[in-house]
Amino acid sequence: MCSCKETFYLCEFSYHLVQDMTDQISFLNDNEISVQYDFVCDVDSQDDGSNNSSMDSNPQNRILRRTRSLNAPSPVQHFGRCGRIMKNPAMVMTIQDPASQRLTWYKPPLSVLVIKKVRDSSVLPPFVELVTWLIEEKRMVVFVEASVLEDPALARDPKFRSVRDRLQTFRDGTDDLQDKIDFIVCLGGDGTLLYASLLFQQSVPPVMAFHLGSLGFLTPFEFDNFQEQVTNVLEGNAALTLRSRLRCVIVRKNEDSQPAEPPTNLLVLNEVVVDRGPSPYLSNIDLFIDGKHVTSVQGDGLIVSTPTGSTAYAVAAGASMIHPSVPAIMITPICPHSLSFRPIVVPAGVELKISVSPDSRNTSWVSFDGRNRQELFHGDSLKVTTSVYPVPSICAADQITDWFDSLAECLHWNVRKRQKHLDELSDLTHSSSNDTLDSFDRDS
């Protein structure tokens, strides 16, 4: 038996080797989608005893084994003798296998944004050490938030004073960083990564997050050997997890007597939450998916989350945990007044619309990754779709290892005292139940 790798065309979908790490999604038609997947198959030809190493031309004599891939195989398009999926070559979407997503720089990164956890003195020494090293050793332009320089503890640090005047500063909501930053380093907990997502409401530079906070589910790197780890990333030796974000647009009811307000348009990394706010009454929220009324939510509210956000507020409300490479949107009710209202997962390509029911006794409130909280009135609506701008999160190992390590270390997933082996149970070795079993074996 011989083994080799070959590209096969199956079911009119092209399975080919990844040529470019920067393949773009091309949308040609708004109605239907034909998906083109990238992965490689291992092919073993059956040995017929003739020691012929050539590929067997008969497909039935070939054994196809998929190599490591995070994309599901494309389904067949023929069903039975007559059925098939109608062809639509008008639109092709190229999807790269998440397992092959690795960081590459088409030019050397020159500027870096360092985000540190606020109001935590334990982060200050690593912060000073990092920015000093980036400036003096890597000769990079370092950006920090202006409020960081106002910290009295940093002002007293002699090592920081030597690089303070060489730092570039910005203020959230005032300065635009979109075309100034090549690379982001976060020092702290998950909140620093959420803040980085908030700062970049379009394309996000690659983010490297060090665990210096409380939970650290999204921060896989340890700070001990940061020089080696950052150098590897700057040289392009790193795997990426593309964490999808949700585009949330609030459309206000247009009163004839008032000018229309510009819609709120935000990208969120974790979730958007609609709740009853300070009202003592149940929320009564209508949920639409692609224009179809699906259900009315009666309870404390509703969580719409990304796969990344499925391990945040959603999992505390009883939702399942979804790997961030899975293209999906999770819908989770908050304390629903129904025994049968379970969390659901819908395809990432749908559009959700959430509005206050006309017969609701109260308004609702909406927040985006825990920020920008505002009221939803009768007639207002919130539209949620998957954004085309993910957060490229750099992996310490790879997409699978990092996620399961976080589940085990941060959430203690499936932690249980091990059941003892029967040989370890001394009270069973001489019990009457063993005698009964022995007699049963003899009788049988």
Q: Which residue has the higher pLDDT, 428 or 351?
A: 351
pLDDT averaged over the chain?
Answer: 82
* DSSP states of 50-86: S---SPPS-GGGEEEEE-S-SSPPPPPSEETTTEEPP
Active-site hit among 38, 190, 275, 398 = 190
Query: How confident is the model over 162-217, as pLDDT tens digits?
Result: 899 999 999 988 888 989 999 999 999 999 999 999 999 999 999 999 999 888 89
Find, among 212, 204, 225, the residue nearest to 133 by Cα: 225
Provide the whole-model pTM: 0.79
Distance CA 278, CA 364 (A): 9
In this prediction, residue 258 has a pLDDT band, given cuts at 50, 70 and 90, of low
186 contacts 198 by C-beta, under 8 angstroms: no
Torsion of CA 410, 412, 414, 416, to 10 degrees: 170
For domain 102-236, give the CATH superfamily: Probable inorganic polyphosphate/atp-NAD kinase; domain 1 (3.40.50.10330)
Distance CA 415, CA 396 (A): 23
The pLDDT of 351-374, averaged and rounded, is 96
Mean pLDDT check: name the lowest of 80-84, 135-139, 348-352.
80-84
Is pLDDT above 60 for 381?
yes
Nearest-Å Rg of the Cα atoms of the chain is 27
- Paired with 207 in beta bridges are 184, 393
Q: What is the pLDDT of residue 438?
A: 55
- Paired with 432 in beta bridges are none
The set of residues, in sequence order, having a beta carbon less than 8 Å from that of 100 and lying 6+ positions away, is 18, 21, 38
Distances (CA, A) of 206 to 27, 172, 278, 356, 390: 25, 19, 39, 38, 10
User: What is the residue type of 387?
Assistant: S
φ, ψ dihedrals at 441, nearest 5°: -65, -40
Is pLDDT above 80 for 11?
no
In this prediction, residue 13 has a pLDDT band, given cuts at 50, 70 and 90, of very low
In this prediction, residue 422 has a pLDDT band, given cuts at 50, 70 and 90, of confident
Identify the burial level of 376 via C-beta atoms within 10 angstroms of its C-beta, where 0-12 means exposed, 13-18 middle and 19 or more buried: buried
Q: What is the pLDDT of residue 257?
A: 55
- The percentage of the chain sitting over the pLDDT mark of 90, rounded to a whole number, equals 61
Q: Indicate if 190 belongs to the active site.
A: yes
* DSSP states of 6-47: E--EETTEE------TT-------SS--EEEE---EEEEEPP
Task: Locate 162 and state its tokens.
Answer: 């030597």
Is pLDDT above 50 for 231?
yes
Is pLDDT above 80 for 342?
yes
The set of residues, in sequence order, having a beta carbon less than 8 Å from that of 54 and lying 6+ positions away, is 45
Query: Domain residue spans in the chain?
Result: 102-236, 246-255+262-389
Domain 246-255+262-389, CATH among 1.10.1740.10, 2.60.200.30, 2.30.30.280, 3.40.630.30? 2.60.200.30
Q: What is the pLDDT of residue 423?
A: 77
The pLDDT of 142-158, averaged and rounded, is 90
Distance CA 143, CA 177 (A): 9
196 contacts 207 by C-beta, under 8 angstroms: yes
Q: What is the pLDDT of residue 28?
A: 32
The pLDDT of 266-271, averaged and rounded, is 98
- The percentage of the chain sitting over the pLDDT mark of 70, rounded to a whole number, equals 78
The pLDDT of 147-161, averaged and rounded, is 88
Distance CA 274, CA 292 (A): 19
